[in-house]
Amino acid sequence: MELQEVEKRSKISGGETRREEENLVHDSSIDYKGRVPLRASTGVWKASLFIITIEFSERLSYFGIATNLITYLTQVIHQDIKTAAKNVNYWTGVTTIMPLIGGFLADAYTGRFNMVLFSSLIYLMGLSSLDNVTVRPKSKALQHEDVSTA
C-alpha cells in the first residue's frame, strides 16, 4: 500500500486508516517491490547487528594488515624500503577512497544493503586469498636463496 493511498483513505474514513498510516515508515523508504514498508518489519537490530559485525571485522583486519604490511613487503617480498613505503601509501589511498566509490554505486545503482553484502564478499575473498598466501607454500613469494637457483 503506497503512502498516497493511505493519506487519501485517512481523509475519507478517519481513525482506522490513521492507525495504518502510523505503522508505515515516513522517510521515503521503499522495499524491493516499491512499497512503503511497515515499521514493525524493517531492519532495526537485525540490520544493525550485521553492519556492526562487518564493520568490526573490517577494522580489525585492516589494522592487523596495516601494522605488518611494511615488514611483509621488505622481509618476505624483498622490496626495498622506498618501494614498500610507496606500495603501502597506494594501499592506504585505495582503501580510503573505496567507501566513496561504494557509496556512489549504492546510491545510484545497487541500494545500500546489496552494496554492503557485495563489498563484504569482495573483502572476504581478498582476506581469504591473503590467508592462502601465508598458508600454502607454493603461493608464497620466492625466498632470497630460491631466486639464485631458479
The pLDDT value recorded for residue 150 is 47
Within a domain: residue 81?
yes
Within a domain: residue 150?
no
Q: 25 and 69 share a domain?
A: no
pLDDT range class, residue 119, cuts 50, 70, 90: confident
Q: 72 and 125 share a domain?
A: yes
Give the model confidence (pLDDT) of 59-76 as tens digits: 998 999 889 999 989 998
Q: 25 and 80 share a domain?
A: no
Q: 78 and 126 share a domain?
A: yes
Calpha distance 21→32 (Å, rounded): 20
Average pLDDT of the residues in 112-133: 85
Q: 59 and 4 share a domain?
A: no
Q: 32 and 54 share a domain?
A: no
The pLDDT value recorded for residue 87 is 95
Give the model confidence (pLDDT) of 11-29 as tens digits: 544 555 556 666 666 666 6
| Tally of domains within the chain | 2
Q: 2 and 60 share a domain?
A: no
* Residue-range definition of the domain harbouring residue 91: 43-142
Q: 12 and 52 share a domain?
A: no
